[in-house]
Structure 1
Amino acid sequence: MTALLCLTTCPDADSARRIADALVDARLAACVSVVPGVHSTYRWQGAIERGDEVLLLIKTTHEALPALQARLPELHPYELPELLAVEAAGLPDYLQWIAREVQAPSAP
């Protein structure tokens, strides 16, 4: 059994908390860890940018990823939010807990 660890960055702690709460409340994530103090360097619209950000570590399932991909841009203040999903193995009981807590929307 595996889960997904999804990563996104936010411009500040308030937006990070708001997104974390919304994802857990909607059962798109079992847990979202908020990690302050990230400094990012990236190219955006032809220029190198630097900024302090807050990292979100989103624990979810493969089944919920499409709904998470749809919901995150609605919640996020960035024009193009980061969302990277990495398959994660772990303690079986913890992975089962993630699966129980996350409810992917039913197909129509």
Structure 2
Amino acid sequence: MPTAYITAPPEDAKTLARRLVDERLAACVNVVPCTSVYRWEGAVETDDEVILLAKTTDDRYDELASQVVEWHPYDVPCVERIDTADAHDPFAAWCADAVADE
């Protein structure tokens, strides 16, 4: 059961999270505020961002990642896959059901 680690600007994060769940690409998205320090175009930047942890399935991950890139306001959005081998079985089953086609 993979989780997508995504960062987004605060003003876009909840909309992106809701859209992922509405489209059944994610069963659940945790929205966590953070501060990011990064290098961009030769300068070190510091910005408020939001971490989105989007729980999905192997079958839905590629589409989730593609849609995040399409919907995201950044030119180079952070979308990273975290594979979870030891998910609680009932949670993994709920997640699979939540992202299944209706």
Aligned to 1:59: 55
CA RMSD of superposed structures (Å): 1.3
Aligned to 2:5: 7
CA distance in 2, matches of 1:103, 1:66: 14
Structure 1 runs of 4+ off > 6 angstroms?
none
Q: Which runs of 5+ in 1 are unaligned?
A: none
CA distance in 2, matches of 1:65, 1:5: 8
CA distance in 2, matches of 1:83, 1:67: 12
CA distance in 2, matches of 1:95, 1:44: 37
Aligned equivalent of 1:93, options 86, 90, 101: 90
Q: Which runs of 5+ in 2 are unaligned?
A: none
Deviation at 1:46, TM superposition (A): 2.0
CA distance in 1, matches of 2:36, 2:19: 24
Conserved in 1, the CA contact under 8 Å of 2:37 and 2:44?
Answer: yes
Give the SS at the match of 2:59: coil
Aligned to 2:77: 81
CA distance in 1, matches of 2:72, 2:100: 21
Deviation at 1:72, TM superposition (A): 0.5
Alignment size in residue pairs = 100
Aligned to 2:42: 46
Deviation at 1:10, TM superposition (A): 1.1
- For the pair 1:27 / 2:24, whether they are aligned, the reply is yes
